[in-house]
Chains A and B, each alone.
Chain A
Amino acid sequence: MKKYTRIWIQLLKNSFSSTLSNRIDSASYFFGKLIRFGFFWLLIISIFNFTETFAGYSTYQVLFFFLTFNLIDILGQIFFRGIYLFSSDVRKGNFDFTLTKPVPALFLTMSRLIDLLDIIFILPIVGLLVYAGIQLPVTITIGAILVYLFLVLLATVLSFTFHVIIAAATIWSFENENFIWLYREAMTLGRLPPDIFPVLLQYILTYGIPIIVMIAYPVNALFGLLSVGDMLFAGVITLLFIAVSLVLWKIALRSYSSASS
Chain B
Amino acid sequence: MLNKYTTLINIMWQRGLAYRFTIFAYRIGEIAEMLVLLLMWSAIFTGTSTIQGYTLNEMLTYILFGNLVNTITRNFAAAGIGRDIKDGRLSLFLLKPMKHVRYALASEIGRASLPFVLSLITQLLVVLLFHDKFLYNTDPVTLLVILGMILLAFLLEFELSYLAGLIAFWTDEVDGLYTTMERVKKFFSGGYFPLSLLPATFITVSFALPFAYSFFVPAQLYLKKIDLSMGLKGLGVQLLWIVVLAMIIRVVWKRGIRKYEGVGI
**Interface of A toward B, CB cutoff 8 Å:** 22, 24-32, 35-36, 39-40, 43, 46-47, 49-55, 175, 177-179, 181-182, 184-186, 188-189, 191-192, 195-198
User: Which of B30, B39, B52, B171 meets A185, CB within 8 Å?
Assistant: B30
How far, in Å, is B195 (CB) from chain A's closest CB? 11
Q: Are B176 and A189 in contact (CB under 8 A)?
A: no
Q: Are B176 and A27 in contact (CB under 8 A)?
A: yes
**Interface of B toward A, CB cutoff 8 Å:** 21-22, 25-26, 28-30, 32-33, 35-36, 39-40, 42-44, 47-48, 51-52, 171-177, 179-180, 182-184, 186-187, 192-193, 197
Total A-B contacts with CB atoms under 8 angstroms apart: 101
State whether A24 and B171 are in contact (beta carbons under 8 Å apart), knowing that A51-B48, A178-B21, A186-B32 are contacts in the complex.
yes
State whether A189 and B36 are in contact (beta carbons under 8 Å apart), knowing that A32-B176, A50-B44 are contacts in the complex.
yes
Question: Who on chain A is nearest to B21 by CB?
Answer: A178
CB-CB < 8 A to A177: which residues of B?
22, 25
CB-CB < 8 A to A179: which residues of B?
25
CB-CB < 8 A to B42: which residues of A?
196
Q: How far is the CA of A81 from the CA of B124 in the complex (A)?
A: 34
CB-CB < 8 A to A27: which residues of B?
176
Residue in A43, A53, A195, A196 with the greatest tally of chain B CB atoms within 10 Å: A196
Q: How far is the CA of A181 from the CA of B27 in the complex (A)?
A: 10
Q: How far is the CA of A184 from the CA of B33 in the complex (A)?
A: 11
CB-CB < 8 A to B174: which residues of A?
25
User: Which of B29, B39, B44, B171 meets A25, CB within 8 Å?
Assistant: B171
A28-B179, A43-B192, A182-B25 given; name 16 further pairs at CB < 8 Å: A25-B174, A29-B180, A32-B180, A32-B183, A39-B192, A49-B197, A50-B44, A52-B47, A53-B47, A54-B43, A177-B22, A182-B28, A185-B28, A185-B32, A189-B32, A196-B40
State the majority secondary structure of interface residues on B. helix
CB-CB < 8 A to A55: which residues of B?
43
How far, in Å, is B15 (CB) from chain A's closest CB? 14
